[in-house]
Amino acid sequence: MPADRREARQAGVRALLAAEGLEALLVTHLPNIRYLTGFTGSAGLLLLRPGGAVLFTDFRYATQAPMEVGDAAEIEIDSASVWERLKRTCAAHPGQTVGFEAHALTVRDAGRLKKCARRTAPVGELIEGLRTVKAPEEIAAIAAAAALASAALAEVLPTIRAGQPELLVASRLEAALRRRGSEWHPFQTIVASGPRAALPHAHTTARVIEAGEFLLIDFGAQVNGYCADLTRTVVVGGRADSRQHEVYEAVRAAQWRARREIRAGMTGRQADALARDLLAARGLAEAFGHSLGHGLGLEVHEAPRLSATSESVLPVGAVVTIEPGLYLPEWGGVRLEDDIVLTAAGPVELSDGLTELVELV
């Protein structure tokens, strides 16, 4: 059985609150509630105080919440309004200043909170900061999700043919992910062919894949709530031409270098430069418009950021994506993405790292 870290996580948040002079925190971001309590429902408020934690949710989770949360928090069920129940709870501690997650609370709910607590204060991404360093069981879940995703792609790749629509490929891949146990898709699967591969966040469409085109596939899986995020680019219905080889091998070399040389203790900017500088030396810097990668965990995009503007230091235990790409409008694009955990001894790959060019002929 993995260690139950919820009490320690809550204690860590309380220490951060005390440093900011706050007595309580209202947690509304659902991944943070799950991280602190184990609750996986779609509606809930968590009030974290010096003496404990209270989870407010509704009738739909009257059975589920106690099962998942156990003694990590008191459970308050209210069929009418969780905000009214929160108001009654806050009334017992009228002098407390309640912090709230400024990045997650809507304007409407901020107004509701004002009616519950006399004094409120915005806080930064305190819990997200704690989530950056992954425990062994979190890393294992991401690795399992990555293995599941790779197996699903290996099943689907041999079935891809020129003349098929992007949506068909996406549907087959998503079905294979679910059959292998993926709880859900962490984001919309991207299947982009030909010139549409030049769109970094393309929407999958009914466009028919033509022979000799690049096909970019960006997809993920989820195990125990934790996400994997992979991208592969292949050629469908023919052999790659010289330009396709040139662009593909440039991306592959940049990703390979970053996967091998990234280290805990670097800044996000320094990590990003591992790939960016190599592509710039080949005159391709303008075609790499996004960052090298991002953190992975309960969310597919979380801290830390591997970007040209990030001075945040990458900690031991962070799980990140390494995903350089080149995008040439009206021609196509290539992205390769793998998932890495930063250990004290260096980077360890959680995904398969199989990036040799595949030609589906």
- Output the domain CATH number for residue 306: 3.90.230.10
Residue 295 lies in a domain: yes
Which residues, at least 6 apart from 263, have a Cβ–Cβ distance to it below 8 Å? 314, 342, 346, 347
CA distance 246 to 42: 46
186 & 96 share domain: no
Place 280 in a pLDDT band, splitting at 50, 70 and 90: very high
What share of the chain has pLDDT > 70, as a percent?
100
45 & 123 share domain: yes
Nearest partner of 297 among 137, 148, 153, judged by Cα: 137
Q: Is the pLDDT assigned to residue 142 strictly greater than 80?
A: yes
283 & 322 share domain: yes
127 & 143 share domain: no
pTM, entire model = 0.96
List C-alpha distances in Å: 84 to 5, 106, 111.
Answer: 30, 17, 13
Residue 1 lies in a domain: no
Number of C-beta neighbours around residue 102 at 10 A:
12
Q: Which domain holds residue 182?
A: 136-360
Domain boundary among 131, 161, 179: 131
Q: For residue 55, what are the β-bridge partners?
A: 46, 75
Which residues, at least 6 apart from 288, have a Cβ–Cβ distance to it below 8 Å? 254, 275, 276, 279, 324, 325, 326, 327
184 & 62 share domain: no
Structurally, the chain folds into a number of domains equal to 2
291 & 308 share domain: yes
60 & 170 share domain: no
Domain boundary among 81, 98, 131: 131
Which amino acid is residue 341, in one-letter code?
Answer: V
Q: Is the pLDDT assigned to residue 83 strictly greater than 80?
A: yes
In this prediction, residues 263-271 reach a mean pLDDT of 98
Place 22 in a pLDDT band, splitting at 50, 70 and 90: very high
Q: Is the pLDDT assigned to residue 1 strictly greater than 90?
A: no
> What are the residue ranges of helices labelled H in 20-116?
30-37, 64-69, 82-91, 107-116
CB 308 within 8 A of CB 291: yes
Orientation angle between helical segments 166-179 and 136-156, nearest 10 degrees = 130
140 & 43 share domain: no
42 & 191 share domain: no
Nearest partner of 231 among 258, 212, 255, judged by Cα: 255
Name the DSSP letter for residue 208.
B
Biggest CA-to-CA distance, the chain: 72
106 & 171 share domain: no
236 & 347 share domain: yes
Per-chain mean pLDDT for the chain: 96
Residue 150 lies in a domain: yes
